[in-house]
Each structure stands twice: as C-alpha cells, then as structure tokens.
C-alpha cells in the first residue's frame, strides 16, 4: 500500500525537519530545526525541536511548526483563516430582538436554559418581596 503525502495536520515524526510559523521566545518565525522528541497525547501533542545553533526548545505546539515543503500551503491557509475571521467580524448580524433580551445572544445567558433563568428571576423577586 502506498503512503499518502502528509498534510498540514499530519503529526510530525522524530527527526523531521520543520520551520517555526511564528516567533517562539527569542527565536524568530521561519527558524529551521529538527523534531527530537514528541510528547503528549490525543489532541495535545507537543514537540521538542533542536535548531541549527544547537539550542533545543520544548513544548512547541503543532500549530507553531510546518514542514519546509508545505510552508506555502501553510501561508495560504493562514491568510484564508485571517480573511474569514475578518469577514465574520465585519458581516452584518441578522440577530432577532430576542438576542438583545438575553435569550439567544452571546455570553453566559445564552448557555443557561430559559426555564432556569425564569425560575431564578421568580425566586429573586420572591426573596426581595417585589
């Protein structure tokens, strides 16, 4: 069976060459290194990377590294994510008036069922005598 080409989300392997996608401490983005150790589990995987000057940096997230051959793909994906985020921030909202009342808006009130909010409001009124 033929191996498939790694994607941007494919975990790195020990000994694989990588580039940093952003500045990590004093190290600038685009620094080249090699994965020396992989630790973590499930979706929380961290890498120890040895750079060309011999310095090792631990606890580096997968999102902070990219394979050199995939740097252009990573840059295109980052640019698209930034454009999507900008578009979602500037897009007009069609939220109904119920959102302004706290029934379906953002924040803590939207995470609490309406029945519990009504019961709490009634208990508060009962205790305060209003």
Cα distances (Å, whole numbers) of residue 99 to 3, 87, 96 = 50, 21, 6
* Alpha-carbon Rg for the chain in angstroms: 24
In the chain, residues under CATH classification 2.30.30 are 17-66
pLDDT of residue 87: 84
94 or 48: whose pLDDT is higher? 48
Residue 92 pLDDT greater than 80, yes or no: no
pLDDT tens for each residue of 101-116 = 545 555 666 788 888 8
Give the number of other CB atoms < 10 A from CB of residue 104. 14
pLDDT tens for each residue of 4-46 = 788 888 899 999 999 999 998 888 999 999 999 999 888 889 9
Does 2.30.30 match the CATH number of domain 17-66?
Answer: yes
H or E element that contains 117: helix 114-128
């Amino acid at each position: 069976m033929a191996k498939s080409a790694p994607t941007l989300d494919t975990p790195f392997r020990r000994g694989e060459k990588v580039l940093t996608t952003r500045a990590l401490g004093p190290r600038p983005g685009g620094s080249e290194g090699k994965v020396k150790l992989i630790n973590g589990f499930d979706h929380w995987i961290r890498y120890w990377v040895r750079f060309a000057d011999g310095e090792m940096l631990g606890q580096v997230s997968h999102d902070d590294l990219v394979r050199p051959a995939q740097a252009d793909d990573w840059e295109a994906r980052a640019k698209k994510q930034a454009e999507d985020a900008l578009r979602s921030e500037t897009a007009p909202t069609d939220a109904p008036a119920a959102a302004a009342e706290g029934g379906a808006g953002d924040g803590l009130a939207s995470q609490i069922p309406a029945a519990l909010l009504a019961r709490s409001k009634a208990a508060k009124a009962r205790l305060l005598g209003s």
